[in-house]
Amino acid sequence: MDIQINPKIVAAGAFESGGKTDLHDAVVAINAGQVSASSLLHNAIAAASSPACDAVYLRRFDDQALAVAAAVDAARAVGLPLPPLAGLAVSIKDLFDVAGHPTTAGSRAMDDAAPASADCPAVARLRSAGAALTGHTNLSEFAYSGVGINPHFGTPVNPTTLAHNPTPRIPGGSTSGGAVSVATGAAWAALGSDTGGSIRIPAALQGLVGFKNTQRLTPLAGAIPLSSTLDTACAITRSVRDAVLVHGLLAARLPRPLARPLQALRLAVPQTVMLDGLDSDVARAFEDTLDALRAAGARIEELPLAQLSDLAGLQAQAGFAAAESWAWHRARLGLREADYDPRVAQRIRRGEVMTAADYIDLLHARRAWIACIEAEVQGFDALLSPTVPMVAPALAPLLASDQRFFAINALLLRNASTINMLDGCALSLPCQAAGQMPVGLMVWGPAMHDDSVLGVSLTIEAALAACAATAIRPARRATGRSA
């Protein structure tokens, strides 16, 4: 995807790590000499050191990052071509090996981890693209929840909801620190993982973009696993075009998102499970988004997709995450269970009772379920659903109550985890109106439909921006319409 100048931003020199400026704009400005990579990195470091980033970073790589930015500025000064990420700040979830630093998965039980001898492939690809790696970010311990709570190192507060309500709210997980690093301006993009929504959930709750590509497209070597069947290495960004760029770097491929007008798209809204129990903010934002897209010419059809209701039964015996995490953790749990988050240990131990026959049955059942879903969605350019059925809930009740925590965690994972079981791809982008709490729209499809999902997402993002500029959606919202 070609990087294009945003003339308003470049002309104004309006560059800081936060705000509406995205990675594309920053790269263009650095190449044009409008701003230095070092100055943008200093801004990112200042944001990472602010109270808004409390509990976001588990370890910082400031000196290394500053050296990368300085090298980019030196290259530009003598007319050398710059790498794609031009020395801009990128954060790394504490699941991925970074040379010279331990990888601890946000757990006290990993405090004996030795420094990594080399970057894992995903990190190496970002580094070779000119990313200034700013540090390892916090997460739900071992990536095992969609809430984002970490009892060992603290929980980052969702920074995007404070303007609406001073009550501290969850960041979403498991890529909690990564999302907050992007939302606060401490990073332009965040490398993370998505096993059941761990990229898309925090993106939705914080008004960001999170793209979960088809799993096989990005390498998982050198990352602490949760579920080898479902884990996906991917990223959180500020815009869909940034998602295209970063995905291309992580997958070492040239994405070709199809730039088609809304009128040429055939989209579906699954009616089973995905729309159940939406809170009023999400229901209103989702319905208003569909109305706005229809008004702009999109063909949107209701699709029963009844097979989605079969998913709960498939995972009744805990599913891949429990079985595969138990295989990885069983020795360490036997020695250091007291150092685990009890809520995480409880979920891992569900895999202890799953037999080999149960696991093989699940593999076969999943394969058949995927075939049924893929047959039903043939002919659609993408499917649309709410990423999560609620806006970010308050943090304190989830710290206090296991029952409340597990209930909210299940709801947060419900829609997003469907795509992982499908072996599909999905992107969450903000769809709320100005002044409303962040709500995510999930654009999704089957395996290897990544370019279609990215193309549809680019079109939808542009359409929603045009609606916001003409105040179409606020006018609709004033009518009081809701789902």
Residue given tokens 């070492």 in the structure block: 252
Contact 226, 417 (CB under 8 A): no
Q: What is the token pair recorded at 146?
A: 């969609």
Q: Give how far Cα 377 sits from Cα of 172, 217, 301, 420, Å.
A: 29, 22, 11, 16
Question: Checking phi first, is residue 192 left (phi over 0); if not, alpha (psi -120 to 50) or beta?
Answer: beta
Q: Are strands 425-430 and 209-212 parallel, antiparallel or unpaired?
A: antiparallel
* Active-site residue, selected from the candidate residues 91, 140, 145, 174: 174
Residue 212 among the catalytic residues: no
Helices (H) and strands (E) in the chain, counts: 17, 11
Contact 1, 247 (CB under 8 A): no
**HSE toward the beta carbon, residue 277, CA cutoff 13 A:** 11
Residue 385 among the catalytic residues: no
CA geometry: angle at 190 spanning 467 and 43, to 5°?
85
* Active-site residue, selected from the candidate residues 93, 107, 181, 193: 93
* Strand ranges in 17-76 using DSSP code E only, listed in sequence order: 57-60
Residue 198 among the catalytic residues: yes
Is omega for the bond preceding 193 within 30 degrees of 0, making it cis? no
**HSE toward the beta carbon, residue 464, CA cutoff 13 A:** 22
* Active-site residue, selected from the candidate residues 38, 198, 239, 457: 198
Task: For residue 394, give the DSSP letter.
Answer: B
| DSSP characters over 62-117 | HHHHHHHHHHHHHHHHTTPPPPTTTT-EEEEETTB--BTS---TT-GGGTTPPPBS
How many whole angstroms from its chain centre is CA 269?
21
The residues annotated as belonging to the active site are 93, 174, 198
